[in-house]
Structures are given as C-alpha cells and as structure tokens.
Structure 1
Amino acid sequence: MPKMLFEKKLSKTDIEYRMAVPMKSLDAFKIPEGEHSKDFGVTDIHGKRWRFRCCTRKADPYPKPVLSSGWIEFPKTRILKEGDEVTFSVVDMKGAEDLELEIQARKKIKLFGEEIWTPL
C-alpha cells in the first residue's frame, strides 16, 4: 500500500511554472551528494506514467526543492486550477537510488450546495 509523502494545495506558481515541494519531503527524493536534481517516475490514478525532476538551489543554505521538468504538463493535462490539490505517495523504493511515486489530483466542486472533492 502506498505511503503518503505529501499533499499540497496548488498555487498559481505551482500550476504555471514549477511546484514547490515541502522541505520535509526532500530526503525521499535522494538527490545524490553534490548534485542538485534528480528525475523520478510517477504514475497517476489512470495508470499514465510521468517523469518529473526534483531540483534544489545550488548556492543557497535553504535548498527550496521544486518539481521542474515534466511537471507543468501534468496540471495542464488535468486542467488543474489554483486551490486544487495533489497528493504524492511512495509506491516503491527500488533499491537505494530509485523512487517510484503515485500522484493523485483532486478538485473541489459544489454538488447540491455541498463542497466535495473529486479525483481527476
């Protein structure tokens, strides 16, 4: 069973440029010592495979991790908007270096006057 890594409410920057990753989750990406990025695999709830890159700042004591390459296509494809949520869960740690994640996006909708979250 996948273990939740983090959940995030999306900002405009997360959707249009890059997604900020919570610092507490950075260790899971296992970026090699001396490097500042790592690509990893993600599978959505529809079984589609994605490749994202987690990057950190090179010359800053605060690494501020972000998802860059590959990420922007995901919110565009799912038509995500500011305030929608994504959840990343760890599916498998294939050896010490490879990380396999699952992503789920949710959108808040109103149905008969009640707000509910629906998976995308």
Structure 2
Amino acid sequence: MSQQPANVEFQVPVEYFQRSKRTDLPEISSEDRFQSSVLREVGLMAKFSKKLSKTDVRKRLAVPTRSLSSLPSFDGAHAVYFQAVDESGEVWTFKCSVRKRRHPKPVLSKDWLAFVDSKGLKAGDMIEFYKETNEAATAHAYRVRAERQIKIFGVVFGYAPVTATSHESSNVSPI
C-alpha cells in the first residue's frame, strides 16, 4: 500500500519576510570596509555605482545627483568632459551635463552608448566609477567598471565584472 502525502500548510507571518532596520549593525558592512581599504591601497576611491535602467542603456546614464561633486568641476558651465579607463585599458571620453536651472539632474552622454554597446550591458547590470587618489595618477583620473547581473532561473545571485568588449571574442581559441 502506498500512502498519499498529507497536505501540509505553512503559515508564516508577513513580518518574517520584511526587513527590519537593526540599529545594532554598522551602516557599512565589513566587506564594504575591506573593499574600500583595498581601493585606497591601489590609489582608487569609489565615487558612485548604479544599477542600470532601460533609459541608462538606451539613451544616457542618469548620474545620482549626490555624486555630482565627485565629478570634475563644471566651473559655471552646464557640461564637462572627462576621460575614464575601463578594466581592459580602453579610454572613454564621457560628457556630463546638467540642467541650467534648478535640479541639476546630471547625465552622461557622448561615449556612453558606445561603452554600453561594447560591454553588452543591459538593464539590471551595474556600473561603477572610481577616481584615482594617488599622486602618480595618469592623465585619466577616473576608472569605470561594468558588472553583469548573474541570474539563475530568473533569480539574481550577484554581479560579475565585464572585462571583454563585444568586438573581442569570448570563445576559447583552438589549441
């Protein structure tokens, strides 16, 4: 005789799934502190990171307004050009512009869409900009890093650095 499995119901309070703010935890995790110290050791300072939206990958990158001070000085202008080096050593010239009136809403354009295309970036991927902090910094004081969203069965497990450009082959070369 085979037995039928019993119908079992689990009732879990909704609060179980909601995150509660814990005041006993530091605001910056030890992993973030470690990453920040490593970046400082190699002469980089994290400036901003952002999860890319559809608009970011199709038109222009909306820069978080709080990060505006980390970009080159506008000196009264509404646009500034700056160069950033990616993980593969390619130099990109980005134009950051702001509105002329209230609420600056900074955006990156110029090489931005070419950068997105070369890295194969999609909505949900991450972008990070860093500024060189050491005195031996090259003419390119900024670094840019792209990270691809890693999904398994539709669940995001994390992000992986994107180093190859789309025109580079990702296939293994024959022996």
TM category, shorter: 0.7 to 0.9
Partners of 2:146 and 2:121 in 1: how far apart? 8
Answer whether contact 2:78 2:97 (CA < 8 A) is retained: yes
TM-score under structure 2 normalisation? 0.60
Question: Is residue 2:86 matched to residue 1:80?
Answer: no
Report the Cα offset of residue 100 of structure 1. Answer: 1.8
Report the Cα offset of residue 4 of structure 1. Answer: 0.4
Partners of 1:32 and 1:25 in 2: how far apart? 16
Partners of 2:111 and 2:47 in 1: how far apart? 19
Mark the runs of 5 or more structure 2 residues left unpaired by the alignment.
Answer: 1-42, 163-175
Question: Is residue 2:37 matched to residue 1:24?
Answer: no
Identity %: 35
Matches within 5 A, 1:80-99: 80-92=121-133
Partner of 2:165: none
Question: Is residue 2:137 matched to residue 1:104?
Answer: no
Q: CA RMSD in A?
A: 2.2
Partners of 1:80 and 1:7 in 2: how far apart? 14
SS of residue in 1 equivalent to 2:112: coil
Aligned residues: 115
Partners of 1:107 and 1:118 in 2: how far apart? 5
Residue type of the alignment partner of 1:70:
D
- Dislocated runs of 4+, deviation >3 Å: none
Q: Cα distance 1:116–1:36, how it changes in 2: closer, same or farther (>3 A)?
A: same
Report the Cα offset of residue 110 of structure 1. Answer: 3.9
SS of residue in 1 equivalent to 2:68: helix
Q: Which structure: greater strand fraction?
A: 1
Q: Cα distance 1:62–1:77, how it changes in 2: closer, same or farther (>3 A)?
A: same
Q: Which structure would you say has the larger Rg?
A: 2
Partners of 2:150 and 2:69 in 1: how far apart? 34
Partner of 1:8: 50
TM-score under structure 1 normalisation? 0.86
Answer whether contact 2:44 2:134 (CA < 8 A) is retained: no
